[in-house]
Chain A
Amino acid sequence: DAGVIQSPRHEVTEMGQEVTLRCKPISGHDYLFWYRQTMMRGLELLIYFNNNVPIDDSGMPEDRFSAKMPNASFSTLKIQPSEPRDSAVYFCASRIAGGQETQYFGPGTRLLVL
């Protein structure tokens, strides 16, 4: 398996623009997680899905952030409008239900908002 796939790997945009981050989880995994990592706040969970349904979005910073999972093999995290403080590395992770609950992380998308 190719692992968790994220695109783009790097994104530079200007304040006010819409940003869409994409994630393809490992095939057969039931859970999908979106994290944000910054120097100041470390790694934070934004939202997670189980069987394509959002379970906990309490980590989503504000209404500018939205996430969708239209099917088991694709999820998006959208920021509209983007702000400089959104600059961070955004990770997607997935895992299978039950078992050890080990999460498998993608390589991340490095976002810079100017």
Chain B
Amino acid sequence: KQEVTQIPAALSVPEGENLVLNCSFTDSAIYNLQWFRQDPGKGLTSLLLIQSSQREQTSGRLNASLDKSSGRSTLYIAASQPGDSATYLCASSKAAGNKLTFGGGTRVLVKP
């Protein structure tokens, strides 16, 4: 059974600092890995999706890497802003059309 872990559970950084969020998974036979953002009281918003054949995906200040052999993915957020404060969750899928297994999330606070 796939287990997805995110450490730390919470992170606080000053504005402008780069953010590094970690995600680890136990079964490397994944189909894709996704990163989501969740604001308080809201649903999840998809940020980036990395297919198993890819090493990274980029969108603006966000970059996500994937290392299947070590069972890790990292989300980098450059030059953090207070508006980046949210909970970030990663999730893996074992096969096409299959369900997602979520990590517990990392709650990020960017201080002005």
User: If A106-B43, A108-B43 touch, does A101 touch B99 (CB 8 Å cutoff)?
Assistant: no
Instruction: Choose among B34, B102, B103 the residue that contacts A102 (Cβ–Cβ < 8 A).
Output: B34
In the complex, chain A residues whose CB is within 8 Å of the CB of B42: 107-108
Counting from the closest, the 6 A-B pairs by CB-CB distance are A105-B43, A43-B102, A105-B44, A102-B46, A42-B104, A45-B99
Contact check, A101 vs B45: say whether CB atoms are below 8 A apart: no
Instruction: Choose among A45, A97, A110 the residue that contacts B100 (Cβ–Cβ < 8 A).
Output: A45
User: If A43-B89, A50-B97, A97-B97 touch, does A104 touch B102 (CB 8 Å cutoff)?
Assistant: no
In the complex, chain A residues whose CB is within 8 Å of the CB of B99: 33, 45, 48, 56, 59
0/1 interface trace, chain B 25-50, chain A, CB 8 Å (1 if under): 00000001010100001111110010
Number of A-B contacts (CB under 8 A): 48
Main secondary structure, interface of B, reads strand
Instruction: Choose among B43, B96, B102 the residue that contacts A101 (Cβ–Cβ < 8 A).
Output: B96
A71 at interface by CB-CB < 8 Å: no
Main secondary structure, interface of A, reads strand
Contact check, A103 vs B97: say whether CB atoms are below 8 A apart: no
Interface residues on A, range: 20 to 34
User: CA–CA, A31 to B100, complex, Å?
Assistant: 13
Task: Write the nearest CB–CB distance from B15 to chain A, whole angstroms.
Answer: 28
B residues adjacent to A (C-beta < 8 A): 32, 34, 36, 41-46, 49, 89, 91, 93, 96-97, 99-100, 102-105
User: CA–CA, A59 to B102, complex, Å?
Assistant: 13
0/1 interface trace, chain A 25-42, chain B, CB 8 Å (1 if under): 000000101000000001
Instruction: Choose among A42, A48, A56, A100 the residue that contacts B49 (Cβ–Cβ < 8 A).
Output: A100
Task: Write the nearest CB–CB distance from A15 to chain B, whole angstroms.
Answer: 25
A-B contacts, 13 of them at CB < 8 A, read A4-B43, A42-B105, A43-B44, A44-B102, A45-B99, A101-B32, A101-B49, A102-B46, A103-B44, A105-B43, A105-B45, A107-B42, A107-B43
**A110 to chain B: closest residue by CB:** B41
User: CA–CA, A103 to B100, complex, Å?
Assistant: 10
Task: Write the nearest CB–CB distance from A9 to chain B, whole angstroms.
Answer: 9
0/1 interface trace, chain A 45-59, chain B, CB 8 Å (1 if under): 100101000001001
